Structures are given as C-alpha cells and as structure tokens.
Amino acid sequence: MSEIRNDTPLIEVRNLKEHFPIQVSGLKTKPLKAVDGVSFSIKRGETLGLVGESGCGKTTVGRTILNLYKPTSGEIIYDGKPIKTAADIKEFRTKATMVFQDPYSSLNPRMTVADIIGEPLDVHKMYKTKEERQARILELMSYVGLNSEHAARYAHEFSGGQRQRIGIARALAVNPEFIVCDEPVSALDVSIQAQVINMFQELQEKLGLTYLFIAHDLLVVRHISDRIAVMYLGKMVELADADEIYDHPLHPYSKSLLSSVPVPDPETARNNKRIILEGDIPSPLNAPSGCPFRTRCRYATDVCAQSMPEFKEVKPGHFCACHNLENVD
C-alpha cells in the first residue's frame, strides 16, 4: 500500500448518477440505474479499491468519472476544480487515464506497440520532434518491463501479461496523476497477476500515482488498497480502511462477500462460516424499493422497503448504509 502524502482529496465524487435509457416497449424507455447516487473521495497518492458483484456498477463509476459516459447528474471534482465543460474534460484527460480489463480487446491489432503507446502523445501533442516521441515511448516501455525490441511488434505477438503491460504504458503516456484500473488483472493467469499488481505499486511509489482500483478479487484488492468501498446494485454500501473492512465488516453484504474469500490454512477454512446469500441479484432496471439489498438480506425489516438507508460514518473513517446495523451479527 502507498504512503499517503496528505489529506487533500485529488478526486471527489458527489452524488454521481449514471442512468441509461432502455427501450422497454414501442417508444417507451425506462432508466437503467447503473450508478445511483455514489459519493466518495480519493486522497492524493492513495489507492481506493472498489468491489462488488458483476453488474453492480463498478466499471460504470470508473468510466463516468473519466467522462467516457456523460454523467446523468452529480459532480466530479478534480484537485478542487469541478469537471463540467468540454475544456475541463480535455484538460482532465491529460491528468487522468484508464487501464482496461481485457488486454486482448483493448489494444488495436493493426498498430505496433510503439504506435499504441504513442497514440496519447499524438492526441495531446506532447512532443516536438519524432526523436522526442520515440525516446518517451522507450522510457514508458522500460517502466513496465518491456524491451526496446518489442516496439516494432504487434499486440498479438505477446502474452496476456505483456499485453496488459502495453496497456499500462499507454495509460502512463500523458504523465497522469490519477488512473482508473478497471479489473486490470482479472483476465490474467494467477502467476502473472502478482507481477502486475507489484508493478502497479512500484509505479505508484515512483510516479506518485493515485488509483481507483476496480476488482472482484478481494485478496488482490486488500493487497493493493489503502481503503475499500463496497458497491451493490448501483449504490455504495460500505467504505473503510482496507484492514478495517476485512477485520470488522459491518454491512450484511460486505460480510457475505468477505466470508467467500479463500483462506490458505485448512484449519481456519474449516472453522470459517460461509454466508450464502439467497436469491439472485435484482436487475438495476427493476431495483427493489428502499434498500436495494433487502431482497437478499436476512436482517431486512419493513423500514428497509420504505427508504434507502443513509450512507453515514458509523465510526471514525468507517461509512455504512444499513437501517439495522445493531442487529447484524
């Protein structure tokens, strides 16, 4: 985990919503609430892990922050300045980039490695001569453990781990301060995952980077994150320091997620109680009223159907959204 330099948030997200209009019949549309009122901040030099089941809205949060999707409502504030106009977004994209999940589909098969990594330099006109461009590309390749002879090759000639390194080098091209890492190791072999995670940490220390690290592998998230946020069906349900959320989860959904983490010690694993959730995750197109988790929660009461619980600080630095915390064991 990184050494956090100060308490000033680099990124602030306030009541972010991303609703996609879905055609349901004829000309009638209905909003799919992929992200529905999410708020958090990330300090400079920090890694915030974002976890939850597939379809909970994790990736949409990352893409909406970078304005790859136009936010339905809410505020994104970078280094104290709201991102609103086209000029703000253009400037923001020289400070913030993304590493995508699938290293097989996120790289153009018709471009050489040098052109893939150099594309952001071309878009933002970040060099004066071809020699300067080439030197910067080779520098970026060295950051991620690629050799200069790799520059003239094509992406299909590389393994998954090497392709992801190319994607990371491309993300670093504009010399960003903030990177959204969208499940960057989930498509890789387990043996390669550790190398890539360690590289993310080394780059963070070397370049002073700030990460939003989106993942579903809870062991990976704990290893790299300073704080962890848990999402369910477009809502944030819990947020705390990484060790705090692992050792003392409060929300019933967080408890269930963490009970599924494999433990290497057989004795401990036998004594661990796996919390199985009943039912399937509801569709964000037809989300339950009140708390979205209530249809799968054994602690749910009438009040859970009536209103969404407030996402509030229940102890220092530990935020949770639940009506019945005092009853959760």
Q: Please state the pTM of the whole predicted model.
A: 0.91
State yes or no: pLDDT of 270 exceeds 80: no
Contact (CB, 8 A) for 311 and 324? no
Contact (CB, 8 A) for 30 and 21? yes
Q: What is the pLDDT of residue 268?
A: 62
Q: What is the pLDDT of residue 267?
A: 67
Residue 29, beta-bridge partner list: 23
CA angle 27, 291, 35 (to 5 degrees): 50
Fold entry, domain 9-95+176-327? Rossmann fold (3.40.50)
Q: Indicate the DSSP class of residue 21.
A: E
Q: How many angstroms separate the first and last alpha carbons of the chain?
A: 30
pLDDT tens digits, 95-126? 999 999 888 888 898 999 999 999 999 998 88
Return the exposure string of 259-281: e unless at least 16 CB atoms fall within 10 Å of the residue's CB, then b. eeeeeeeeeeeeeeeeeebeeeb
Tokens of 109: 């098969």
| Separation between Cα atoms, residue 64 and residue 28, nearest integer Å | 25
Q: What is the pLDDT of residue 3?
A: 46
- pLDDT band, residue 264 (cuts 50/70/90): low
Q: Indicate the DSSP class of residue 152.
A: G
Q: Tell me, what amino acid is at 311?
A: F
pLDDT tens digits, 166-215? 999 999 999 999 999 999 988 888 888 889 999 999 999 999 999 999 99
Percentage of the chain beyond pLDDT 90 is 64
- pLDDT band, residue 5 (cuts 50/70/90): very low
| Burial category of 103 from C-beta neighbours within 10 Å (exposed 0-12, middle 13-18, buried 19 and up) | buried
Q: What is the pLDDT of residue 6?
A: 55
Give 268 or 223, the one with higher predicted confidence: 223
pLDDT tens digits, 278-312? 777 788 888 889 999 999 988 889 999 999 999 99
**What residue segments make up the domains of the chain, in order of their start?**
9-95+176-327, 110-175
Mean residue pLDDT of the chain comes to 89
Q: What is the pLDDT of residue 7?
A: 67
Q: What is the pLDDT of residue 242?
A: 94
| Separation between Cα atoms, residue 33 and residue 21, nearest integer Å | 9
| Separation between Cα atoms, residue 44 and residue 8, nearest integer Å | 7
Q: Tell me, what amino acid is at 189?
A: D
**For strand 96-99 and strand 178-182, is the pairing parallel, antiparallel, or unpaired?**
parallel
Q: What is the pLDDT of residue 4?
A: 45
- pLDDT band, residue 261 (cuts 50/70/90): confident
Give 27 or 120, the one with higher predicted confidence: 120
Here the contacts of 22-31 (C-beta below 8 Å, separation 24 or greater) are: 22/285, 30/285
pLDDT tens digits, 214-250? 998 888 898 899 999 999 999 999 999 999 999 999 9
